[in-house]
Every structure is written in structure tokens, then in C-alpha cells.
Amino acid sequence: MKYEEFGKRIIELVGGKDNVQAVVHCMTRLRFTLKNRDLADAEAIKAMDNVIDVVSNKVSFQIIIGTEVAEIHPEILQLLGMESEVKEEKKQNIVKRILDLVSETLTPILSVMMCAGLISGILSLLTVSGIISSESSTFMIFDSIRTSMFYFLPLFIAASASKRLGVPMYLGMLLATTLLSTTINGVEGLDLFGIALPTITYSSSFIPVLLGLWFMGIVYKYVQKIMPKSLDYFFTPLLTIIITLPITLLLFGPIGTWISDGLGYVFQFIGDTFGSWLVVTIYAACQPFLIMMGAGNFIIPIVVNSYATLGYDAMFTPAWIISDLAVAGAMLGYFLRAKDAKQKQFFGTLSFSAFMGITEPAVFGAFVKYRRPFFAVMIGGGIGGLIAGLLSVKGYTMTTLFGLLTFIGNNDYNNLYFMIAALIVGFVVAAIAGYVLWIPKSEQEEVKTEVKITESGLNKVRLTTPVLGESIPLADVKDKAFSTGALGKGIAIKPEDGLVKAPIAGEVVSLFPTNHAIGIKTEDGIEVLIHIGIDTVELQGEHFTPLVKQGDVVNVNDPLIEVDFAQVKAKGYDPTVIMVITNTQDYLEVVPNMTNANELVTVVL
């Protein structure tokens, strides 16, 4: 076992084998479900070699490692004596559970998809250089790796998702291969028990087989319960497949096709109405925020569906590569501006890591701490994404920067040239923005000495409590983005009342669609964020009633949002209300006051 000692140490520091209920992984992190979170020593884990950071939230205890997590995960399972079908706690809502299932099903096969994409890029290079012909047998043999990957996608899905859904893997693969058989896949005029079947092409798709596997898991468990042990070996699989296949053909095949086509129509509508350039621009600018929130994988099913139905992806594939390179550029700008040797080494390492496609070290190591790099990436990534979007750049397979040649596609060299141009612009602009936005330590000290003085001394602005309740330090909040001060200084309140009020006069500049967060900006430029509860975005606005709208001007103590905190707590969410000054760095000091609700936070100008 290559990572045996590392795995043993991780298990020890999360509280031992007996404290682990489940452990799964995504692209870069291990996600533990622990019986007692207090037994885990997060600081000791952070200090380990190969560990980038630790993120602890309501759903899971996450250890961010990097792409080698795919090798580490099975070894940790072996050390724990667990099988890979172990599951996380089901505290999240149904939409979150579905997205997690799809993401965790597709993540293990991404490396294989990228492998197929890199082979396609190599073949493009060889044909361009004249070494082999696209009509030769050699080309067709190696190109079959790419075509087979997507044609047999349902089979890969079955192997990846079966255990997660409680299905024996080979039984799940039997369902997938049956759907791909020449007697069913794309065949017209079929009927089952006299019921006409729609013509459905199951190859290069994943939603129908995933729905079928979900149903198969339910059937398998039920049949296993009623089947005598002496007959279980033969007749449980038999009855399961006999029940599942007809339901899949009659119900889940059409539903899966409608969902798949629906996703295609949605993004086609966006492209036709607003232009796909808008999606590319926004995602290339905002990807680091999604990574920080643990939501970076939500696009995977959309991208896979685009490749399966259209043969290309004109939105997210170009955007994520541009964004990764913009992160590298921003960190390069910080590297060039930094004077301290340790800072230069730090930012240089983060820039190289992002260039290689691993941006988590930069996001959690620098972006969360300094915040300004987010703006550098938004500027550079946004401009690069805008160029790619306006020039209609298409990704023909899932890949990284090193699979750039796959953008040639079907001899579409302009597509490659446009992508290279977008990458260069995104990288260079982000580097310049990072260089400009950086404030060296000496200059920070100079800025802090420029204090406004009035006749009564320092110029101060006072914020009252946004909700009645017990005040607690921000450090005690169970959300790393707030407790570390990464989003600004402030205070938190354990609410005793359901009415959230304005702590200061100003304009409502933002109201999150789920109504769990609201932003106010004063005439003096103070930016106040009120965040209601931890992870309450998952409630999708339920139990939150907005009393104002974006653009409204409010006075102190004006009602903003009414919240049913009893229901929020009943759903298992922490109701803590958090108030921070998001532009803390613009002021001399932000001082929380734990004892006076009429002066809960003081901003010293």
C-alpha cells in the first residue's frame, strides 16, 4: 500500500476506526462522516505532508489532498475494513442528494474520460504533422478508445454507481449491457407485452441507466428480504433483473431521455437568448467561489450530457480551463509583487499548482485569506471566458490544459487558435490584476495611518444588532469562511426572535435568491453582509420571508427578513445569524461589542 502510513495517521487523527461512519472522495478531497466530530484533530491533520486544508461542515469532515486522493481513498477503506458502498449521513435535502449521487458517480470515471481526450489530442497532433493519416487503420484503432468511452458510457456508470445504490456491480453491468445490445439500443418498432416502446438510443447517455440502477437497488433489497437464503444466490438476481428491465424500458428510458433533452434545450435556450458567451464568462470568473463552497462538481453531469447529446461542450469545458489558468496568473502576479522570500515561494508554488490544474491550494491557501485574488481571477478569467464565448470555442472532450489539442476537434483549427488566445489573455490579465491588487506590507501600514480625525476624535460608525439574541464571537461560528475572518470582521448572534432588522441605514445591494443572506451598503461605503444560519442555502428559501427587495433604501431597525427559526432548527440547521463588514480591509478597525445590542459593531474610519 503506497499510502499506508499516511492513511493510518489520517484515521488516527479523525478519532480512530470506531469514529468513522463513512468516507467517500471527490476530485481532490476525502469526505468523512464522523460519529463524533470533536474527536477529530483538524490542526494536526493540516500539519501533515500532502494535506492542503481541512474543511468541516454540517454534512461532512473534508480533508483536501489533491488528485492523488483517488489512490488514497481505497487504501483508507481497506485500513478501515469498509467496502466502497458505505454512505454518508442523509441530512441534506433531496436535490442535494441527487446532485451528490450524480457527481460521485461521474467523478471516478473522469480520469478515464480525460485519458480518452488526451489520446484524441495526440492523434490530432500526429495527423497535423503528417505522421499518420486519419484514414489509416492505426488512427481508427486508437480513435476507437475515444468513441468506445462514450458509446459504452452506461457500462462505466453501472460499474461506478452500482455499489453506491446497493446493487451488485455485475448485476448493474448486466442491465447496462442489455440496454446497449443491438436488439434494444436505438431499435424501432419494439413492444413489450404488447405495449409499444419508444425508440431510445441508450449509448452515450447516463441518465436512463442511472435511474434504472436506482430502481434496481430498491428491488434487489426487497427481493433479498423475502427470498429464502437457500434460493437467494440464483433467484434474487433473476427476479431483480426481470422486474427492473421492463420498468427501465417503459418508464426510466423515456424519463431519462426527457431529462437529457431538457438539459440540452435549457442551455440551447440560454445560448440562443443570451448567448453561450455569458455562461462561459460567468463560470470562468466565478469558479474559485464554487470550489471554496464545495460546489465545483455540479457542472459534471451537464458537461457529460452535452458530450453525449451534442458531441461537444461550448460552455463549461473552455471556462474551467481558462479559470484554472487565471488562478495561476493571479498567483504569478502576487509572486512578482511579493518581496519576502517566503511569500515568493508560497505564491510561486500556488501558481505552478494551478497551472497543473490543481487550484484548491490557491483557493484555500491564498484566496480565502487575502480575498483580493478572487477579484484578479474574476477580471482575468471573465475576460478570457468572454473571448472564448464570443468566438464560440467548443470543447470536444473532458480535458485539462495539457489536452489543449483536443480543441482541434474535426480539423477545426480556428477553434484551437481561439482557445489559445482566450487562455493567454485570461492568464496575462489575471497576472496584471494580481500584481496591481496586491498591497505590500509596508504600504498596508501606511494606509492604516491615514485615519480621519474629527473634533471628537476618531470617526466611528456604529451598527446595532440585526436580530435579538445572544452575541457570540465570530471565531465560534461553525463555518470556516466566517470564523477565520476570511469574509470580513464582525459578530454572530444566537437568535431569539424571528425578525431580522437593518443594523444600519443604507441601500439593499444584494438579496440572495434563497433569502438567507442580504447585503447593505451605507453612504460611507461600508458593506454589511447579514448571513442567516449555516448551510441554510440548502433550504431553498423555505421558512424565509423577505420584507424588502434589492434596491430598497432602509433605515436602522427596518424589518428585512422574517425567519421561522423553529422550523430551521427542526430541519437540523444551525440558526446562527452572522453579520460581517465585507470590506473590513478599507477601515482602520472593526470592533465587535459583545455586551451592547445598540452598538454591536463599531467601524473605525
Q: In whole angstroms, give the CA distance from residue 347 to residue 354.
A: 11
Q: Which amino acid is at 226?
A: I
User: Annotated catalytic residue: which of 11, 13, 24, 26?
Assistant: 26
Residue in 104, 59, 63 with CA at minimum distance from that of residue 72: 63
Name the DSSP class of 545.
Answer: E
Segments of 65-220 assigned E as strands = 191-192, 195-196
Q: In whole angstroms, give the CA distance from residue 274 to residue 56.
A: 38
Output phi, psi for 9, to 5 deg: -65, -40
Q: In whole angstroms, give the CA distance from residue 402 to residue 117.
A: 10
For 24, the grid coordinates are 467517500
Residue in 533, 531, 474, 468 with CA at minimum distance from that of residue 495: 468
CB atoms within 10 A of CB 553: 12
Instruction: Examine the residue annotation and report whether 26 is marked as an active-site residue of this protein.
Output: yes
Q: In whole angstroms, give the CA distance from residue 10 to residue 599.
A: 44
Q: In whole angstroms, give the CA distance from residue 146 to residue 114.
A: 10
Q: In whole angstroms, give the CA distance from residue 325 to residue 351.
A: 9
Q: In whole angstroms, give the CA distance from residue 316 to residue 360.
A: 18
Q: In whole angstroms, give the CA distance from residue 489 to residue 358.
A: 29
Chain-centroid distance, C-alpha 584:
27
H or E stretch including 254? helix 253-273
For 118, the grid coordinates are 488526451
For 324, the grid coordinates are 484554472
CB-based burial, 34-52: b 16+ in 10 Å, e otherwise: beebeebebeebeeeeebb
Beta-bridge partner residues of 84:
none
Output the CA angle 120-126-132, nearest 5 degrees: 110
For 60, the grid coordinates are 461532512
Catalytic residues: 26
